[in-house]
């Protein structure tokens, strides 16, 4: 562990030196106090407290002096070993980072007096730095240096050596009491709220932690930032309230560029610029692997383009458990594969556009309330992303706007005032997406497709409803090779409404295992939609509309079953079925379970002018030379038949011969006909 302390020699103080004014006799800030930061025990069981006065003494040289352009500064740091074992510190080397260029002179003292009222210590008997320091006594190290009158410098005090024979490096823990630059690694802790009229904190070192300790950072100005860095890694920002008010585009509460492994945790971050686009609360540019967790992050929803979080060419973002408010909740930008592998989970988002997933993203467990779009897949295409278990409500638009390919949309509640889920016109190539097990609700339509280049999408096991006038629960246009399985599609709106509406160029659509399909005008409407196969779908009102070039083949499931009259199953019975035109439609053989493989049997073929029924069917079953004939089978009336039974009468007497697990009928044994059910 390290103890760090940063001091800025300027009016914008970081817990340290104040600005010296233009007088030869400077005036100092009243109420000086000592800042003491307790360390953490080292592996060698040392625990040293380092402390430093909040305000140090810098005095200008007289103008007439040859050093008239300089000031002389005296910096004292105190040390106190609080461990029970107080080993000697040998080889101690002190360093005041960023001040060594001024060649400070170091001295040592372990002699002091304490003011009985304030408790402040006054050190005396300064000597050269010893080779060994007795840490059983408090001691201090003083640096004296000359620097330009108007120079502003941060510094970080380090003391390295060997404590009890073990290597040790000590740094003082910095406090932040004003805006400035954090140029050394370490933890910077706020000791008060601060206000800046421009960019407040600039990070120019790796491994910087900013701990707000519950205090506030307020900033304002033109294109300014609360906290910013460019090119430095492993930054942590936590426990801080940041509020900004910029007057032009580009101001951000947190603005990070080329910063890897950033952590933003447990903060309240707000950019409250009104009417200025592009002023995001958090903007990350080329910052891979950020972790943004447990924050309240906001911009004004009405400010177009102002996002709570903007990710530009930033990959592997982990965004978890935040409250996000803005025109965008999460807005990833960039080209190609530069924004990938987002994990956006368990957030509460209130925005005009909730979030925009990119390639290989995981969007799960979010509660999203949006005006226009809850989740918006960019029309340039998003691939291999998962949207699972979200509650999405669009109060003035659609819940999910889908594009791209190989995406999985599952287990969401998606409600929109226009569409629940929609593939927009102009969305580019949209294919091989899986939309399953969702509750989808829209006023205009529940699930709708308008783009002309989409195919092979799967819509399975969803509960889809539409409520508006002239709406459809499922509306597909220009949609090739779609599979719709196990859906409930209900339209309760007024006017011309449908449960399922296939409108032009929906060739090779396969619809099966419908839970419920209902519309006001018709349950289903197939219009200029090509070849459509419908299996095991009952319509609530049992009505459908077919127009244009639509060709509908409606089927039901069928399986045969064969056994002997004593209950023994028959493996190898052949079941054949001919439709009303005498064409063979069923040809199946029972297996080891006695069942044939589950197949389909055609109810009818229909187009815009005619409907051709395939019933009644004539079926029979044969086994070992015995033929059982069933008179008729009406698929329109019976619909699914998962066990069309055929019972062969078992032979009498000693005509059974059993070899292994097979039954044989010896020659000369007569087998009477059986029955069919």
Q: Could you tell me which residue, 672 or 585, shows the higher pLDDT? A: 585
Backbone angles phi, psi at 291, to 5 degrees: -120, 115
Mean pLDDT in residue range 165-182:
70
Are 240 and 217 a contacting pair, CB within 8 Å?
Answer: yes
* pLDDT for residue 250 is more than 90: no
Work out the end-to-end distance of the chain between its first and last CA atoms, rounded to an integer number of angstroms: 82
Of the ranges 87-101, 299-313, 482-496, which one carries the lowest mean pLDDT score? Answer: 87-101
What secondary structure letter does DSSP report for 104?
A: P
Of the ranges 77-86, 232-241, 316-325, 630-639, which one carries the lowest mean pLDDT score? Answer: 77-86
Specify which of 142-146, 366-370, 475-479 reaches the highest per-range mean pLDDT.
366-370
Mean pLDDT in residue range 530-544:
92
* pLDDT for residue 89 is more than 80: yes
Helix extents (H) in 83-129: none
Mean pLDDT in residue range 502-511:
92
- pLDDT, residue 51, reads 65
pLDDT tens across 549-605, in order?
999 999 999 999 999 988 999 999 999 999 999 999 999 999 999 999 999 999 999
pLDDT tens across 387-396, in order?
999 999 999 9
Specify which of 116-130, 277-291, 295-309 reaches the highest per-range mean pLDDT.
277-291
Burial call 407-420: b when 16+ CB within 10 Å, e when fewer: bbbbebbbbbbbbb
* pLDDT for residue 663 is more than 60: no
- pLDDT, residue 163, reads 77
C-alpha–C-alpha distance, residues 189 and 245, integer Å: 23
- pLDDT, residue 436, reads 98
In three state form, how does the secondary structure of 266-315 look?
Answer: CCEEEECCCCCCCCCCEEEECCCCCEEECCEEEECCCCCCCEEEEEECCC
The answer for 351, left when phi > 0, alpha when psi is -120 to 50, beta otherwise, is beta
pTM (two decimals) = 0.75
pLDDT bracket for residue 505 (50, 70, 90): confident
- pLDDT, residue 172, reads 58
Q: What percent of the chain clears pLDDT 90, i.e. is strictly above it? A: 51
* pLDDT for residue 239 is more than 90: yes
Q: Could you tell me which residue, 47 or 14, shows the higher pLDDT? A: 47
C-alpha–C-alpha distance, residues 536 and 630, integer Å: 23
Q: Could you tell me which residue, 456 or 81, shows the higher pLDDT? A: 456
pLDDT tens across 186-230, in order?
788 887 888 877 788 999 889 989 999 999 999 887 778 999 999
pLDDT bracket for residue 18 (50, 70, 90): very low
pLDDT bracket for residue 502 (50, 70, 90): very high
Q: What is the rounded average pLDDT for all residues in the chain?
A: 82
- pLDDT, residue 649, reads 85
pLDDT tens across 304-326, in order?
778 899 999 899 999 999 999 99
- pLDDT, residue 472, reads 96
Of the ranges 194-198, 292-296, 475-479, 481-485, which one carries the lowest mean pLDDT score? Answer: 194-198
Q: Could you tell me which residue, 189 or 622, shows the higher pLDDT? A: 622
pLDDT bracket for residue 160 (50, 70, 90): confident
Q: Distance of CA 606 to CAs 397, 546, 547, 621, Å? A: 37, 8, 10, 30
pLDDT tens across 53-79, in order?
544 567 888 888 888 888 888 888 878
- pLDDT, residue 278, reads 67
Q: Could you tell me which residue, 534 or 274, shows the higher pLDDT? A: 534
- Hey, what's the torsion of the CAs at 153, 158, 159, 162, to 10 degrees? -160
Are 428 and 406 a contacting pair, CB within 8 Å?
Answer: no
C-alpha–C-alpha distance, residues 414 and 420, integer Å: 5
CB atoms within 10 A of CB 432: 16
Q: Find all residues with CB under 8 Å of 84, minimum gap 6, and list them.
A: none
The SS3 call for residue 578 is strand
Q: Find all residues with CB under 8 Å of 270, minimum gap 6, and list them.
A: 242, 243, 244, 253, 281, 296, 297, 298, 299
pLDDT tens across 330-364, in order?
988 755 446 788 999 999 999 999 999 889 999 99
Instruction: Name the helix (H) or strand (E) containing 485.
Output: strand 483-485
- pLDDT, residue 307, reads 87
pLDDT bracket for residue 656 (50, 70, 90): very low
């Amino acid at each position: 562990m390290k103890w760090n302390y940063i001091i800025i020699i300027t009016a914008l103080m970081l817990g340290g030196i104040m600005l010296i004014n233009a007088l030869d006799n400077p005036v100092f800030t009243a109420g000086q106090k000592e800042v003491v930061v307790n360390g953490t025990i080292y592996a060698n069981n040392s625990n040293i407290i380092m402390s430093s006065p909040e305000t140090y003494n810098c005095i200008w040289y007289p103008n007439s002096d040859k050093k008239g352009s300089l000031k002389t500064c005296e910096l004292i740091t105190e040390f106190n070993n609080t461990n029970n074992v107080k080993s000697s510190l040998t080889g101690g080397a002190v360093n005041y980072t960023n001040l060594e260029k001024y060649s400070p002179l170091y001295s040592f003292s372990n002699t002091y007096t304490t003011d009985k009222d304030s408790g402040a210590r006054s050190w005396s008997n300064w000597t050269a730095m010893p080779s060994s320091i007795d840490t059983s006594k408090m001691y201090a190290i003083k640096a004296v240096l000359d620097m330009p009158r108007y120079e502003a410098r941060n510094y970080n005090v380090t003391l390295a050596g060997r404590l009890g024979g073990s290597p040790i490096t000590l740094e003082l823990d910095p406090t932040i009491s004003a805006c400035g630059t954090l140029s050394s690694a370490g933890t910077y802790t706020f000791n008060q709220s601060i206000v800046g009229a421009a960019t407040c904190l600039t990070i120019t070192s790796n491994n910087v932690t900013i701990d707000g300790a519950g205090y506030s950072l307020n900033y304002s100005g033109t294109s300014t930032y609360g906290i910013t860095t460019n090119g430095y890694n492993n930054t942590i920002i936590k426990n801080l309230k940041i509020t900004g008010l910029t007057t032009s585009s580009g101001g951000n509460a947190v603005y990070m560029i080329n910063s890897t492994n950033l952590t933003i945790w447990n903060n309240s971050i707000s950019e409250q610029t009104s009417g200025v686009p592009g002023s995001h609360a958090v903007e990350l540019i080329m910052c891979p692997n950020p972790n943004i967790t447990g924050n309240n992050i906001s911009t004004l929803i009405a400010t177009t383009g102002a996002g709570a979080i903007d990710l530009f060419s930033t990959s592997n973002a982990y965004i978890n458990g935040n409250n996000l408010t803005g025109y965008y909740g999460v807005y990833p930008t960039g080209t190609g594969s530069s924004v990938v592998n987002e994990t956006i989970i368990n957030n509460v988002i209130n925005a005009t556009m909730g979030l925009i997933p990119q390639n290989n993203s995981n969007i799960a467990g979010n509660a999203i309330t949006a005006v226009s779009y809850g989740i918006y897949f960019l029309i340039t295409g998003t691939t291999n992303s998962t949207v699972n278990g979200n509650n999405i409500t669009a109060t003035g638009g659609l819940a999910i706007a889908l594009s791209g390919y190989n995406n999985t949309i599952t287990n969401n509640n998606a409600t929109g005032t226009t569409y629940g889920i929609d593939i927009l016109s102009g969305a580019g190539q949209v294919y091989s997406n899986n939309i399953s097990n969702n509750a989808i609700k829209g006023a205009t339509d529940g699930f709708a497709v308008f783009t002309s280049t989409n195919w092979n999408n799967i819509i399975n096991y969803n509960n889809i409803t539409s409520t508006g006038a002239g709406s459809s629960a499922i509306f597909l246009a220009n949609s090739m090779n779609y599979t719709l399985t196990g859906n409930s599609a209900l339209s309760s709106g007024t006017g011309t409404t449908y449960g399922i509406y296939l409108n032009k160029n929906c060739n090779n659509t396969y619809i099966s295992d419908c839970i419920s399909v209902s519309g006001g005008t018709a349950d289903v409407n197939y219009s200029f939609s090509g070849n459509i196969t419908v299996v095991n779908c009952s319509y609530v009102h049992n009505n459908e509309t077919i127009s244009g070039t639509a060709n509908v083949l409606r089927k039901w499931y069928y399986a045969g079953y064969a056994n002997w009259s004593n209950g023994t199953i028959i493996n190898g019975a052949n079941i054949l079925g001919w439709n009303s035109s005498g064409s063979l439609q069923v040809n199946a053989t029972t297996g080891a379970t006695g069942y044939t493989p589950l197949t389909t049997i055609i109810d009818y073929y229909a187009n815009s002018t005619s409907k051709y029924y395939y019933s009644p069917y004539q079926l029979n079953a044969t086994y070992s030379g015995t033929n059982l004939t069933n008179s008729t089978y009406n698929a329109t009336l019976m619909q699914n038949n998962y066990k069309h039974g055929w019972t062969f009468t078992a032979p009498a007497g000693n005509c059974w011969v059993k070899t292994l697990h097979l039954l044989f009928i010896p020659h000369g044994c007569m087998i009477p006909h059986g029955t069919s059910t």
